[in-house]
Amino acid sequence: MAIVAMIVGAVLVLLVLWEGFETIILPRRVTRRFRITRVFYRSSWRPWTWLIHNFVPPRRRETWLSYFGPLSLLLLLSIWAAVLILGFALIHWGGSWLFYPNGGTELISDLYLSGTTFFTLGIGDVVPKTSLGRLLVVVESGMGFAFLALVISYLPALNQSFARREVSISLLDARAGSPPTASEMLRRHSHHGGAESLRELLHEWERWAAEFLEGHLSYPVLAYFRSQHDNQSWLAALTSILDTCALIMAGVEGTCNRQAELTFAMSRHAVVDLALVFRTQPRQLTSDRLPPAKLDEICDILRRSGHKLKERAILEQNLAELRLMYEPYVNALSRHFKVGLPPWVARENGIDNWQASFWKPPAKRHKAAEEVEERHF
């Protein structure tokens, strides 16, 4: 029994150390199918969203969903610490390497020593009595100190990556509306010099997509961190950029076609890899995001804004082919993260986030957008 306890304890310690290495230190995507961290997030996210859907009013759901990212991270770190303490306690208990004041060999005393050692308290009422016991105490205390140092360095890195992501999303307000839409982005860049401004914007988003991909592959928990406003999200912003690039490539002439192709490629790469990381299988939308009537509306908007378009049939065919390359992936991510996808056309009489205030709230969301959000639950 003692040997089994020591083996189980050693396995627990090694398992947590490897998980921590892959999650915090390793700067690349982990392809292994089974991971404790992945199981933890999938098994906790689904009950969380179920509880919110059934017990939280719709207008408060986004706020409660935003709590999951930070809380789950703190809970994951706590679980790691608890498993490490348990693992070392099992090794101590199996080896009987400690001196107990009451002369016993209770597991609770081993847990007590392991906890005080891991958090470097050094109380000293339970002490090791053999050389191996002393060595294990030293190793555990050093590991506890290293664990604390990693957490201290890990949290600022997450905050910085989150802040960089959100800056570009916030900048889309004045350039593409709230939420951002492809037609509005092109309409607002139809002024003199707008084509160059649009090219620069898409170039910035090409780099943003690359940074987003690298950051969220290294720290997937960031995908659960939601934006400051209910009508903003990293997925909606990325989808609107893909929509804009697809529209330009499909049939908007005289604009930044080459830059649109580059940004489209990088953005699609990001959504495909994120879908792979979170095991969200691509799935077609239950309802078309861009029915023919909406496409006609977009064409009218662009023509009135001075854009030159290809023939309607050619534009529609090209656009349908491009949409098939990314919409199944963003739809799967949307359903997983409970985030609504942006429309192609901005709502009528809507105002941007920068135009609103506490005393002048944004216009109510379009009913169709609320229905889409409801289906995600």
Question: Quick one: average pLDDT of 59-72?
Answer: 92
Asked if the model's pLDDT at residue 103 lies above 70, the reply is no
Asked if the model's pLDDT at residue 365 lies above 50, the reply is no
Choice among 94-98, 198-202, 350-354 with the minimum mean pLDDT: 94-98
- Residue-wise pLDDT for 236-261, tens only, equals 999 999 999 999 999 898 788 999 99
User: Domains of the chain, with CATH numbers?
Assistant: 2-152 (1.10.287), 177-376 (no CATH)
Output the pLDDT for position 147: 86
DSSP annotation string for 81-145: HHHHHHHHHHHHHHHT-EE-TTS---HHHHHHHHHHHHTT----SSEE-SHHHHHHHHHHHHHHH
Q: pLDDT higher for 280 or 375?
A: 280
DSSP code, position 177: T
Q: From CA 131, how far away is CA 138, in angstroms rounded? A: 11
Residue with tokens 């306890």: 5
- Residue-wise pLDDT for 172-216, tens only, equals 988 998 889 999 999 999 888 888 999 999 999 999 999 999 889
This prediction's pTM: 0.85
Output the pLDDT for position 338: 92
Mean pLDDT of the chain: 86
Contact call for residues 267 and 239 (beta carbons, < 8 A) = no
DSSP code, position 23: I
Q: Is the dihedral of CA 360, 366, 369, 371 positive or negative?
A: positive
Asked if the model's pLDDT at residue 101 lies above 70, the reply is no
Both structure tokens of 6: 């020591």
Phi and psi angles of residue 308, each rounded to the nearest 5 degrees, phi first: -100, 125
Output the pLDDT for position 373: 47
- Residue-wise pLDDT for 216-232, tens only, equals 988 889 999 999 888 88
Neighbour-count burial for 97-133, b at 16+ CB within 10 Å, e otherwise: bbebeeeeeeeebbbbbbbbbbeeeeeeebebeeeeb
Q: From CA 198, how far away is CA 256, in angstroms rounded? A: 7
Asked if the model's pLDDT at residue 35 lies above 80, the reply is no
Output the pLDDT for position 346: 86
